[in-house]
């Protein structure tokens, strides 16, 4: 069977704003319809020009013939293929069922996923620029989309023709981009993981929308009530009428007022204010003013607004992004449940009922933040089943560094944090009590110092955690950690040296500690440092070179900054390369576990993935006494490449999502 590649791009109209509601809500809305589809066919040596079909024309014979040819497998290419799949299967299949037969994720290769895999920008325009494509997106695209694709645009016939040209240009840019990437497809395993990501997003996370609405309504009413009290709160301490705070939008006055009352703020960003509100030493009036500020527009509880905007048929979709960072871990989108507040309440149903009953609640905003995680709730007849690996990155680090003492500790089920604390204080481990200062110090050292954190940074980190250690104490702590885990410190430099030798001698493979290092050129001549992980997957560092760093020779590489929208150079320090390899390997363990769950536990609808955690929905009738253990065992079923890595997974079955 021969393979024909078809690069496509849709332009659509909808009453829904996709930037607010996401692709699933947008594509499933009845107002959403296809305006045009551009396409380019690559069938062996035959490459068509970029063609266009518009909704008011018969479907192209060339595509119909290709789709009906049983000797041909059609592989579609698109930039952000999730959108094209959803448009095809919803608007296309609804309005043109004869032409748009349902497609599967396995029918597509996502050019955006390829860009993520190789560290390029995730917008078509910026990816084309970063890869030096000659073809560019049309600058008029945004204005054309406003005119032709959104309500109230009043487009002319000329506007539509220009939109068609814009659509055609996008397909041409996508086609050229694919030629300029190191490869035009993912590996088989990575393609399966991209398809799994689509499936997780398509399944969606179940949401208690009744509770979401009750909490947002309560906070909105509370905000209006509190705004009226602002002047009376601040005039008690301000004799100058021009300095009295009368509105939560008065940034300068609020900062001046708080400073006058002994609380200095660099800015009034939501994260900054949230940190101040968590302190117990601020005056009550300052707490009230800052709370009112946070409630303005519900910025501090914006995740509730996102839940309402993305809600569809009981779920929130589009929550995950494949290969969100260099090590390959999934990244969060919209709800961002990877970054949910760690604060919690013991009985979320009790407190949710208080909002539903409109009871008097002290500090409702803080309570709402604690309840955001439990807003993920299984629907009637289902339960959530969730499990995570215990200390997966620490276990992988011990495995990579061949630290038998640490591996034995994990195999025997002993606590690494207590063990570390006992070494620092030179006491028997039995004397370390969980939750004590000693235990917390051991935990901070284990979690913080594994990737070369020094004493000064550790001191700043511990201060943020509420500990006021001297620099001399921190130097002792770090020294003790490095002595205890000396094999891990050797690992930092083993990986760094292998990387440097590889860059110095392109084409030569250097192996150390279960990884291989090689510098190669891709098909268009771009140089890459390729680090092959134990799983066989590669970490990739673009344009590597050896420079003189602050602490000696180091590899420098080029990467993309999404916040600043440009490529920049970064040093691959011993700690950083170890972190990447450790996290990348842990990601591959989780990926294997999730694929195992899909294949061996079909009664679970997977919908959650958070770093070291997997979860989904299971019907209550399918839950048995051994269900949780079965889920954990499948997650810990090992591939041959990590057969000797000690794993442990623990989880829960329950109605609401929680931090276990």
pLDDT digits (tens, 9 = 90+) for 19-37: 999 999 999 999 999 999 9
Predicted local distance difference test score (pLDDT) of residue 275 = 81
Under 8 Å between Cβ of 101 and 113? no
Sorted by sequence, the CB contacts under 8 Å of residue 281 that are 6+ apart come out as none
pLDDT band at 335 (very low <50, low <70, confident <90, very high): confident
Q: In this structure, are strands 311-312 and 604-610 parallel, antiparallel, or unpaired? A: unpaired
Predicted local distance difference test score (pLDDT) of residue 575 = 96
For 521, phi and psi rounded to 5 degrees?
-105, 140
Average pLDDT over residues 601-625: 96
If one counts every other C-beta atom within 10 angstroms of the C-beta of residue 379, the result is 13
pLDDT band at 274 (very low <50, low <70, confident <90, very high): confident
Sorted by sequence, the CB contacts under 8 Å of residue 596 that are 6+ apart come out as 634, 635, 637
User: Where along the chain do the CATH 3.30.420.10 domains lie?
Assistant: 2-185
Q: Is the pLDDT of residue 338 over 80?
A: no
Under 8 Å between Cβ of 92 and 39? no
Task: Tell which residue, 533, 501, 535, 534, has the closest CA to residue 518.
Answer: 501
Q: What average pLDDT does the chain have? A: 94
If one counts every other C-beta atom within 10 angstroms of the C-beta of residue 497, the result is 15
Task: Put the strands of the sheet holding 315-316 in their side by side order.
Answer: 205-206, 315-316, 311-312
Share of the chain above pLDDT 90, in %: 78
Q: Is the pLDDT of residue 121 over 70?
A: yes
Sorted by sequence, the CB contacts under 8 Å of residue 262 that are 6+ apart come out as 283, 286
DSSP H or E segment with residue 4? strand 2-13
Residues in the chain: 660
Q: In this structure, are strands 2-13 and 604-610 parallel, antiparallel, or unpaired? A: unpaired
Q: Please, how many CA atoms are within 13 Å of residue 95, restricted to the half-sphere of its CB?
A: 21
When mean pLDDT is compared across 117-121, 331-335, 381-385, 418-422, the lowest value belongs to 331-335
Predicted local distance difference test score (pLDDT) of residue 299 = 58
Task: Tell which residue, 436, 435, 529, 449, has the closest CA to residue 481.
Answer: 449
Under 8 Å between Cβ of 6 and 74? yes
User: CA-CA distance, 192 to 170, in Å (whole number)?
Assistant: 26
User: CA-CA distance, 447 to 494, in Å (whole number)?
Assistant: 21
Predicted local distance difference test score (pLDDT) of residue 297 = 60
Return the exposure string of 10-24: e unless at least 16 CB atoms fall within 10 Å of the residue's CB, then b: bbbbbebebeebbbb
Q: Is the pLDDT of residue 567 over 90?
A: no
The strand ranges marked E within 82-155 are 108-110
**DSSP tally for the chain: helices H, then strands E:** 26, 21
Predicted local distance difference test score (pLDDT) of residue 277 = 84
pLDDT in tens, 41-67: 999 899 999 999 999 999 999 999 999
Q: What is the DSSP letter of 8?
A: E
Predicted local distance difference test score (pLDDT) of residue 48 = 94
Average pLDDT over residues 432-451: 94
Predicted local distance difference test score (pLDDT) of residue 1 = 83
If one counts every other C-beta atom within 10 angstroms of the C-beta of residue 265, the result is 17
pLDDT in tens, 249-268: 898 999 999 998 998 888 88
Q: Is the pLDDT of residue 298 over 70?
A: no
Which CATH code fits 2-185? 3.30.420.10
Tell me the angle at which helices 284-295 and 270-277 cross, rounded to the nearest 10 degrees: 150
When mean pLDDT is compared across 229-238, 273-282, 370-379, 498-507, the lowest value belongs to 273-282
Predicted local distance difference test score (pLDDT) of residue 502 = 98
Predicted local distance difference test score (pLDDT) of residue 139 = 82
Residue 117, CA distances (Å) to 35, 104, 330, 475 in order = 31, 21, 11, 38
User: CA-CA distance, 105 to 92, in Å (whole number)?
Assistant: 16
Q: What is the 3-state secondary structure (H, E, C) of 171-186?
A: HHHHHHHHHHCCCCCC
Average pLDDT over residues 431-436: 93
Average pLDDT over residues 626-645: 97
Average pLDDT over residues 224-246: 86
Q: Is the pLDDT of residue 626 over 80?
A: yes
């Amino acid at each position: 069977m021969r393979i024909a590649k078809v690069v496509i791009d849709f332009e659509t109209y909808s009453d829904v704003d996709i930037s607010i509601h996401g692709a699933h809500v947008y594509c499933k809305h009845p107002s959403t319809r296809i305006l045009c589809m551009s396409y380019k066919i690559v069938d062996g040596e035959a490459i068509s020009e970029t063609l266009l079909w518009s909704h008011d024309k018969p479907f192209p014979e060339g595509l119909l013939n290709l789709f009906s040819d049983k000797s041909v497998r059609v592989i579609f290419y698109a930039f952000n293929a999730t959108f094209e799949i959803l448009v095809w299967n919803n608007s296309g299949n609804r309005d043109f069922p004869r032409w748009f037969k349902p497609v599967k994720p396995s029918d597509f290769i996502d050019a955006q996923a390829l860009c993520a895999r190789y560290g390029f920008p995730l917008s078509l325009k910026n990816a084309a620029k970063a890869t030096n494509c000659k073809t560019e997106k049309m600058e008029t695209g945004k204005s054309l989309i406003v005119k032709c694709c959104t309500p109230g645009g009043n487009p002319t016939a000329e506007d539509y023709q220009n939109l068609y040209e814009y659509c055609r240009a996008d397909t041409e840019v996508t086609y050229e981009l694919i030629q300029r990437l190191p490869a035009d497809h993912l590996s088989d395993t990575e393609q399966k993981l991209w398809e799994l990501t689509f499936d997780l997003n398509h399944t969606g996370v179940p949401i208690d929308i009744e509770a979401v609405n009750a909490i947002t309504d309560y906070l909105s009413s509370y905000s209006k009530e509190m705004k009226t009290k602002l002047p009376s709160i601040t005039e008690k301490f301000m004799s100058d009428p021009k300095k009295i705070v009368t509105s939560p939008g008065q940034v300068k006055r609020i900062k001046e007022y708080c400073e006058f009352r002994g609380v200095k703020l660099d800015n009034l960003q939501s994260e900054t204010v949230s940190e101040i509100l968590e302190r117990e030493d601020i005056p009550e009036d300052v707490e009230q003013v800052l709370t009112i500020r946070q409630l303005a527009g519900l910025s501090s509880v914006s995740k509730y607004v996102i839940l309402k905007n993305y809600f569809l048929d009981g779920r929130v979709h589009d929550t995950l992004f494949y290969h969100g960072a260099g090590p390959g871990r999934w990244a969060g989108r919209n709800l961002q449940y990877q970054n949910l507040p760690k604060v919690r309440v013991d009985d979320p149903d009790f407190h949710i009922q208080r909002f539903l009953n409109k009871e008097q609640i002290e500090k409702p905003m803080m309570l709402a933040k604690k309840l955001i995680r439990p807003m993920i709730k299984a629907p009637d007849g289902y339960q959530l089943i969730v499990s995570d690996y215990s200390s997966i990155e620490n276990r992988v680090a011990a495995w990579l560094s061949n630290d038998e003492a640490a591996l034995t500790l994990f195999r025997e089920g002993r606590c690494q944090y207590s063990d570390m604390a006992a070494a620092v204080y030179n006491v028997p481990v039995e004397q370390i009590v969980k939750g004590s200062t000693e235990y917390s110090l051991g935990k901070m050292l284990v979690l913080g110092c594994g990737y070369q954190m020094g004493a000064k940074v550790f001191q700043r980190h511990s201060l943020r955690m509420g500990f006021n250690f001297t620099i001399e104490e921190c130097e002792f702590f770090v020294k003790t950690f490095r002595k205890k885990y000396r094999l891990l410190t050797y690992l930092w430099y083993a990986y760094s040296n292998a990387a440097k030798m590889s860059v110095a001698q392109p084409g030569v493979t250097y192996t150390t500690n279960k990884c291989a290092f090689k510098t190669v050129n891709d098909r268009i001549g771009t140089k890459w440092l390729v680090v092959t992980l134990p799983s066989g997957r590669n970490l990739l560092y673009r344009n590597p070179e050896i420079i003189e760093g602050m602490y000696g020779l180091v590899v420098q590489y080029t990467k993309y900054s999404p916040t600043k929208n440009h490529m920049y150079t970064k040093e691959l320090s011993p700690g950083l390369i170890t972190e990447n390899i450790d996290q990348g390997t842990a990601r591959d363990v989780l990926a294997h576990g999730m694929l195992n769950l899909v294949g061996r536990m079909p009664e679970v609808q997977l919908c959650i993935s958070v770093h070291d955690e997997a979860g989904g929905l299971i019907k209550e009738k399918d839950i048995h006494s051994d269900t949780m253990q079965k889920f954990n065992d499948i997650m810990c079923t090992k591939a041959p490449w990590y057969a000797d890595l000690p794993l442990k997974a623990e989880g829960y079955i329950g109605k609401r999502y929680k931090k276990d």
